[in-house]
Structure 1
Amino acid sequence: MRKTILVKTVLAAAAVTMATAPLAAEAHPKHRVLVCNTPSAVRRNANNGTIIGGVGGALVGQAIGHNTTGTLIGAGAGAVAGHEIAKSRAKRNCHYEYR
């Protein structure tokens, strides 16, 4: 008889503990944190923008000038523009996370 009461008491205590454990874990409030791209991600995006802008500028320069000078000027201008555009877009890529 005593063993039965002891076993029921232990099982009841375990059930109460198991039921309240998730509530205790969620007791900490979550904070909203602003997360932005890392400097390496901004650099990678800017480098990709430089390459894409340079190729696009070279094609436009060749189409307009029909010579090597126009191609080189277009490639340089496109590379600078592509780099700056990609860098500014990468820096604005921020979002909120709950931690």
Structure 2
Amino acid sequence: MRARLKAIILATAVGFTVSSLAVTAADAQSRRYRVMVCDKSKAKNGAIIGGLSGALLGNAVAGHGARTEGTLLGGAVGAVAGHEIGKSKRKCHYEYRYR
């Protein structure tokens, strides 16, 4: 009788443990979701490089009395152009995350 009682208690404990592990694994699966992650550093780098080169080119092309305006305008146009070019070259991938 005593051995049978131990077997029943052991089977009950194992059953509860297995069922709680199954519920935990199912709960973890429901919390997982897919996210697209993109590398944005190329767009930032493109804006910086484009702004600097545009400023230098604007300074060189501007008339003698308007060098400051040429530098500012060239830098702004170069930064926008560099950002757009860099943005088109970004790499994206999917990652799985948990809540």
Q: Name the TM-score, length of structure 2 as normaliser.
A: 0.47
Larger strand percent: 2
Normalising by the residue count of structure 1, what TM-score does the alignment of the two structures yield? 0.47
